[in-house]
């Protein structure tokens, strides 16, 4: 058995929720668009199929998309018998799928930088690199969960937006749910409010699905209920994930995050983002420079194939929005919780770790 297949076995033995894994010469991927009612496993025979899966939201979440970059580059090497050009072409394809997700860009670049030799030598080199990166991602999830859980008090009610959980990462808790899961494991009596997250309903379909699996009490709300819940004292803290954090601490996350942060500021509620140092983009000075992915507006006028608006209705779908750092109480990373001044403290983090 190859080392990359042993990795999957090792993770499954830990009862982790794997978004994708390598098995018998191909990638296996849990179709997240079918959750929570069907756990369908699809086989990705090549990088083109993996790219389609990323674009179609079959797999999503910043950590999981980053892992797609790792597996995709290895798959290209494996299937081409170690052709460097095939690996480079795979990298170009993968980086084109989700422009806002910096994790994908970084893992593809990291795999590309490891390219050495040809044939079986290249396959072996990229396999070892892939296993190391995925293990690192899982370690990040455990560590940021520990740091973030220190911010959670017994009795807290925590709101989260979209899905930033195990299936959006390496299998433990991704970003926000690493914090929530660890606090629950510590025996803290917590309750989670999860926003449904239109138009794909990731909060309703996937976050609630994972919270139920973890045994964490939770309440589902529509996205436009968050202000009411804060104003009526139902929310103590907010923890969201991240798709990119700029050098000054501005946050790119699922669209709707910004309005939750504004409401939190108005009500004096701490607002945190959970991320890994790998998701901090030190080459992007502020959120103004982050490209926001614009998705097909047809996704707004229907829910899972059922039309909800009249034919001819125009719609808009920015997949992400930018939350300015002035609205953020702290950035939870595997190295600790970063607080203001963000630009200065993030720069110190950059100097201490190899991103």
**C-alpha distances in angstroms, 306 versus 52, 200, 204, 300, 309?**
22, 12, 17, 11, 9
Helix-helix angle 84-95:119-149, to 10 degrees: 30
Length of the chain counted residue by residue:
355
Structure-block tokens of residue 168 = 């959006």
Q: Provide the strand spans (E) within 41-190.
A: 41-44, 157-160
Structure-block tokens of residue 5 = 């297949």
Tokens 């999503």, residue located: 60
List own/partner pairs for 199-205 with CB under 8 A and 24 or more apart. 199/299, 199/300, 199/303, 199/317, 200/33, 200/57, 200/299, 201/303, 202/32, 202/60, 202/162, 202/163, 202/254, 203/160, 203/161, 203/162, 203/163, 205/32, 205/35, 205/36, 205/163
Are 125 and 111 contacting, i.e. CB atoms less than 8 angstroms apart? no
Catalytic site includes residue 135: no
Are 191 and 83 contacting, i.e. CB atoms less than 8 angstroms apart? no
Terminal Cα distance for the chain, rounded: 30
* Distance from C-alpha of 308 to C-alpha of 310, rounded to nearest angstrom: 7
> Between β-strands 191-195 and 157-160, what pairing exists: parallel, antiparallel or unpaired?
parallel
* Distance from C-alpha of 78 to C-alpha of 119, rounded to nearest angstrom: 9
Give me the half-sphere count of Cα atoms (radius 13 Å) on the Cβ side of residue 328. Answer: 32
Q: C-alpha angle 223/227/231, rounded to 5°?
A: 150
Q: Phi, psi at residue 218, to the nearest 5°? A: -155, 160
Catalytic, out of 243, 250, 281, 321: 243
Which residues are tagged catalytic?
243
């Amino acid at each position: 058995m190859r080392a990359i297949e042993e990795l999957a076995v090792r993770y499954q033995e830990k009862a982790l929720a794997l978004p994708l894994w390598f098995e018998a010469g191909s990638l296996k991927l849990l179709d997240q668009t079918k959750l929570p009612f069907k756990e369908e496993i699809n086989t990705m025979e090549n990088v083109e199929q993996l790219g389609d899966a990323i674009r179609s939201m079959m797999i999503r979440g910043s950590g999981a998309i980053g892992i797609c970059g790792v597996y995709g580059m290895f798959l290209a090497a494996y299937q081409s018998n170690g052709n460097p050009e095939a690996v480079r072409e795979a990298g170009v394809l993968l980086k084109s799928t989700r422009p806002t997700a910096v994790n994908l860009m970084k893992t593809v670049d990291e795999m590309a930088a490891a390219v050495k030799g040809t044939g079986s030598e290249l396959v072996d080199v990229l396999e070892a690199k892939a296993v190391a990166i995925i293990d690192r991602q899982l370690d990040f999830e455990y560590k940021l969960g520990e740091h973030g859980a220190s911010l959670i008090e017994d009795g807290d009610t925590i709101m989260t937006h979209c899905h930033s959980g195990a299936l959006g990462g390496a299998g433990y808790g991704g970003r926000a749910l690493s914090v929530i899961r660890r606090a629950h494991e510590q025996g803290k009596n917590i309750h989670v409010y999860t926003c449904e997250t239109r138009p794909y309903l990731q909060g309703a379909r996937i976050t609630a699905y994972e919270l139920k699996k973890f045994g964490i009490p939770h309440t589902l709300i529509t996205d436009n209920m968050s202000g009411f819940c804060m104003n009526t004292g139902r929310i103590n803290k907010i923890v969201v994930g991240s798709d990119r954090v700029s050098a000054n601490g501005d946050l790119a996350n699922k669209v709707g995050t910004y309005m939750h942060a504004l409401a939190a500021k108005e009500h004096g509620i701490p607002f945190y983002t959970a991320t890994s140092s790998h998701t901090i983009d030190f080459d992007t000075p502020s959120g103004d420079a982050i490209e926001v992915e614009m998705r097909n507006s047809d996704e707004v006028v229907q829910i899972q194939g059922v039309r909800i608006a009249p034919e001819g209705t125009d719609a808009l779908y920015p997949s992400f929005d930018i939350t300015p750092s002035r609205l953020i109480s702290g950035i939870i990373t595997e190295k600790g919780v970063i607080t203001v001044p963000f630009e200065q403290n993030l720069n110190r983090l950059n100097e201490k770790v190899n991103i």
